[in-house]
Structure 1
């Protein structure tokens, strides 16, 4: 099966150096590099998630940025792999990237506007983080990360810390309910953490879909459906979904690794449907409900501790 080229990037000073990105859901086939104008190619996919790569841009030093269905990733010249590059830019499809001479990178996104960030800077030995850290952030240091940062915005906040020696959560560090903060040890520029990837390995739900929006709060109105309040009775969670538009609509239960656990409901009839989920089925793992309309992922919503702890 042929793959679609989504972007071509050429080195500003050496036009024989060319990078191409590929769409589709073919694991291990995301980015290729040629040093001889396309006569031969080297696969640079590394640990990129199995999602389409939509855009590429390269700087004067051969450092490469890749924008895809799950945000931006960075690969320095001569590196063996990629690392996440967010700096507050949301994890949404990135359709185009531009580098400027004053050290900024601009990213256009699908449904979330245009964002600006400083370009990549080298991994420090020690990194001190303070203040409010909301949105999508990725911090790393070759030695120690010290943080008194506060992640308090709730759902949609994802902050990741990686250090070669240790990550020290100091007095003042806070993470509110529904904010996601993950910490682990590992060297700088050592690839994309497994928990960071959203791919379709073992997950049929993502094979033909792309994200359209970020997670949103419970009981919100969408153009396609209205998801009602969760209720709990015994060991069963029940919620209502009011289908507002004709078309094939389905609701999938997935874990945070992107594995499809079960199709909760599918249909084409406009109106209200009641959907139960057995709590033992969740098996103490954090799960997500995915809403698809005509094979497009239009919304997802975490099953968090608030839901599981509601009174009977």
Structure 2
């Protein structure tokens, strides 16, 4: 019980330290940004307001305070459960995040599952047919995905499926004038297809290559060779030995790389004009909306930390099981 309490306390302290460092670095980087918050707030019409109005706006946005003072003010509000007010959307940051976060979680979740399933299956096939033409094709495909920029792939998919074949929408999460939940299931699938495909393709390569190496190690193990020598078919060995010993490591790796998946969603949501949290971070940064940027950054850090925590827990369980065996 004491070990469990100590582990929980250690994890909580790590989370608090991580969130504090993320917030501090975000504030510092934003203060160094060449963007003018007043110009961004006015949409470039900075000369359309008087100096008195500009001074009033500077005071309302707390730009007359130092970075440290603004940071302490934001942290004080956070302790009271407030994330501030977005100057970009003219509403509380919590309301903006509540609207954008579910779409991002849906996009990232579907991409996470698809990249795990397809990456694992392709890695499994490559290992089973090691050295063959299928293995070489899958490996080259994996290295191509590693080198492929997500924004370029997104534009390529739009050009092919949206413009060339007219099979999918060009952008957005729903038809113009509708929300995501107002559309039909078929329309949801069409609007999610290309963003999910982009994130899946750019994030499945590590799973493919890792699974291939892990499966090869399992196939060369003594217990698998013993099983094959006693007449077990390859399909039975794969089902009862290979998958059992290679799937959990792939899942652990997938949780550990959730930060890369979230980073890819920033670009994918921007290219596809998908109104998720990633697009909100980009807009907040360009508009110097500190409150919204801090709120989005905080949620992003929590998401990445959760993924790494689950990966660590599963890794510990996997090592425990291996030691028991």
Higher share in strand: 1
Q: TM-score, normalised by structure 1?
A: 0.20
Higher share in helix: 2
The structure showing larger relative contact order (alpha-carbon pairs under 8 Å, at least 6 residues apart) is: 2
* Structure having the higher Rg: 2
